């Protein structure tokens, strides 16, 4: 539930509502299907909640972490 709140905040804070796939497509510079800390830094809203969303603490956000 916390992730859903954070993602909702992220979507509204960035000015438009994206599905998690759209967020990954927009920020995944190396096309590995996930967002790194460095890639997330391109979006201030995502960067501010990155640590909370990174449930497994591997330094990447997956589609599963973005949807929960």
Query: What residues make up the domain containing 9?
Result: 2-67
In Å, what is the CA distance from 22 to each residue of 10, 40, 52? 13, 13, 20
Total domains, the chain: 1
Whole-number Å distance between alpha carbons of 38 and 11: 19
- Lookup result for tokens 């709140």: 5
The mean pLDDT value of the chain amounts to 83
Quote the pLDDT of residue 16: 41
Mean pLDDT of 7-36: 76
Q: Residue 31: which CATH number? A: 1.10.238.10
């Amino acid at each position: 539930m916390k992730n859903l709140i954070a993602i909702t905040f992220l979507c509204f804070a960035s000015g438009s509502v994206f599905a998690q796939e759209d967020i990954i497509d927009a920020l995944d510079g190396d096309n590995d299907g996930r967002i790194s800390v460095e890639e997330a830094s391109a979006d201030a809203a995502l960067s501010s909640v990155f640590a909370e969303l990174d449930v497994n603490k591997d330094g990447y956000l997956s589609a599963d972490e973005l949807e929960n």
